[in-house]
């Protein structure tokens, strides 16, 4: 090994309750002091004058201020010293004394003169998790980049952003540590995550982050299932997908699955298509978890009621065309919907009842000539729009072989879509 350019040995230090010294009273010294205080260290600042931020720490009693120039002996009993005086001679003396007393020393003015370096640090708190001592669990990213602090900061920020977005694995693998009562398992948590209409890029950053932390994922048929390939091999995936007329896992059993895994101390994500509260029965799942006092987080999703029509160029509202919209399932009574031509109706599911639904809308006052679009597999490989009117859409859908999943849009906004222009052109 080249003794002039040795390999850096990365190390995390527990400084809580231990004496540390900061020499200098300027902004750099203030930043170093803030970091040490956050770690729980007992901090002594040696400087004839201190900046405003340091003065505030002194006023609060958070640090001990020795109001004079540095003297040999000020490091007695210290574990770590940071020197940031701006005076090379003073910093060199501090480094020399630290070396003699075997104290790790960080020198702000000349990194090569010290025995330790401060990396660029980012902390990512893990939702709902605690360490063995009960403190919030976190992932700490520390980057050293060849004594180039700006490069280190950029790399740190990029890694932190990837962690926040769930692009990097965050799930705990090792238990948090011994619990006060070994016979009592820590309570897990449940996140009801709206995955959007199926496109992998349309899940929220929060939803993706929770997926990266999950021990168990309970997934719907219409959720963004491509994300499952990114999960670790030891993540439990429970498929509770439903198809029209076929519900192999009843809702009560889905609720029980969520409760069972959370009571076993696991982090559970209920990955749903669209939004959990838009015909997603998220409210029932929330109530089941709350009944057992399980912490629950609801993460909204991009609902297919709006996004799937948008995928084929249909806005559910448009100035001068539609002032509002109603979202129903195709199984509900559509006769209660306003029959005004400037009110859009969006139907989720119900392809098999399209003829009955169209007839009910006409009976409720809609013109038989009202435009209709049925959008299949929004954002999926089969995406297409079949258009017609209330008088013709059932026959057109049957001829085209339309099949679920599909969203039906009724109203003049359909005229704005490329599919309508092709149909009428």
Classify residue 249 by burial, with Cβ atoms within 10 Å: 0-12, 13-18, 19+: middle
Using CA atoms, how far residue 312 sits from 367, 391, 416, in Å, is 23, 22, 10
Classify residue 179 by burial, with Cβ atoms within 10 Å: 0-12, 13-18, 19+: middle
Token pair 């693998």 is found at: 173
For residue 54, give every residue at least 6 positions away whose Cβ sits within 8 Å of its Cβ, in sequence order, or none.
25, 29, 30, 33, 45, 47, 63, 65
Instruction: Dig out the tokens for 36 from the structure.
Output: 């040490």
Q: Is 342 a catalytic residue?
A: no
Q: What is the DSSP letter of 6?
A: P
Q: Is 239 a catalytic residue?
A: no
Please say whether the beta carbons of 114 and 95 come within 8 A.
Answer: yes
**Euclidean distance between CA atoms 215 and 118, whole angstroms:** 34
| Catalytic position from the list 97, 215, 220, 377 | 220
Please say whether the beta carbons of 391 and 365 come within 8 A.
Answer: no
For residue 312, give every residue at least 6 positions away whose Cβ sits within 8 Å of its Cβ, in sequence order, or none.
373, 375, 378, 383, 384, 385, 417, 418, 419
**Euclidean distance between CA atoms 372 and 415, whole angstroms:** 9
Using CA atoms, how far residue 50 sits from 27, 42, 45, 57, 75, in Å, is 9, 18, 9, 10, 19
| Catalytic position from the list 87, 101, 242, 412 | 242
Instruction: Dig out the tokens for 99 from the structure.
Output: 């070396």
* Selection from 166, 173, 176 nearest residue 136 by Cα: 176
**Euclidean distance between CA atoms 228 and 220, whole angstroms:** 12
Going by their DSSP bridges, the two strands 324-329 and 296-299 should be labelled as unpaired
**Euclidean distance between CA atoms 39 and 277, whole angstroms:** 41
**Euclidean distance between CA atoms 340 and 206, whole angstroms:** 39
Active site residues: 220, 242
């Amino acid at each position: 090994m080249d003794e002039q350019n040795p390999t850096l040995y990365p190390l995390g230090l527990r400084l809580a309750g231990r004496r540390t010294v900061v020499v200098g009273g300027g902004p750099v010294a203030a930043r170093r002091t803030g970091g040490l205080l956050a770690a729980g260290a007992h901090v002594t600042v040696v400087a004839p004058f201190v900046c405003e931020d340091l003065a505030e720490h002194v006023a609060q009693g958070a640090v001990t201020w020795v109001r004079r120039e540095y003297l040999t002996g000020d490091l007695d009993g210290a574990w770590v010293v940071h020197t940031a005086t701006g005076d090379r001679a003073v910093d060199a003396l501090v480094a020399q004394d630290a070396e003699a007393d075997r104290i790790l020393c960080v020198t702000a003015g000349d990194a090569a003169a010290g025995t330790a370096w401060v990396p660029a640090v980012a902390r990512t708190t893990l939702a709902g998790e605690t360490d063995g001592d009960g403190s919030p669990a976190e992932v700490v990213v520390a980057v050293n980049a060849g004594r180039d602090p700006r490069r280190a900061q950029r790399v740190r920020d990029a890694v932190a952003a990837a962690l926040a977005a769930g692009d990097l694995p965050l799930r705990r693998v090792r238990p948090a540590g011994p619990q006060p009562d070994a016979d009592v398992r820590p309570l897990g948590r449940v996140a009801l995550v709206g995955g959007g209409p199926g496109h992998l890029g349309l899940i929220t950053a929060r939803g993706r982050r929770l997926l990266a932390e999950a021990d168990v994922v309970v997934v719907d048929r219409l959720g963004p299932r491509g994300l499952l390939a990114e999960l670790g091999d030891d993540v439990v995936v429970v498929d509770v997908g439903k198809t029209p007329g076929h519900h192999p896992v009843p809702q009560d059993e889905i609720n029980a699955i969520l409760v069972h895994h959370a009571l076993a101390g696991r982090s559970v994500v209920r990955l749903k298509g669209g939004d959990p509260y838009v015909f997603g029965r998220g409210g029932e799942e929330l109530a089941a978890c709350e009944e057992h006092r399980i912490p629950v987080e609801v993460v909204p999703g991009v609902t297919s009621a709006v996004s799937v029509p948008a995928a084929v160029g249909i806005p559910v509202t448009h100035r001068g065309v539609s002032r509002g919209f109603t979202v129903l399932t195709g199984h509900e009574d559509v006769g209660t919907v306003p029959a005004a031509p400037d009110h859009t109706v969006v139907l989720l599911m119900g392809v098999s009842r399209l003829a009955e639904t169209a007839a009910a809308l006409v009976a409720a006052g809609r013109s038989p000539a009202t435009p209709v679009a049925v959008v299949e597999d929004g954002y999926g490989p089969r995406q297409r729009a079949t258009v017609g009117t209330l008088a013709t859409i059932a026959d057109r859908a049957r001829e085209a072989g339309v099949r679920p999943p599909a969203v039906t849009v009724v109203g003049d906004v359909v005229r704005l879509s490329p599919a309508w222009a092709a149909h009428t052109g």
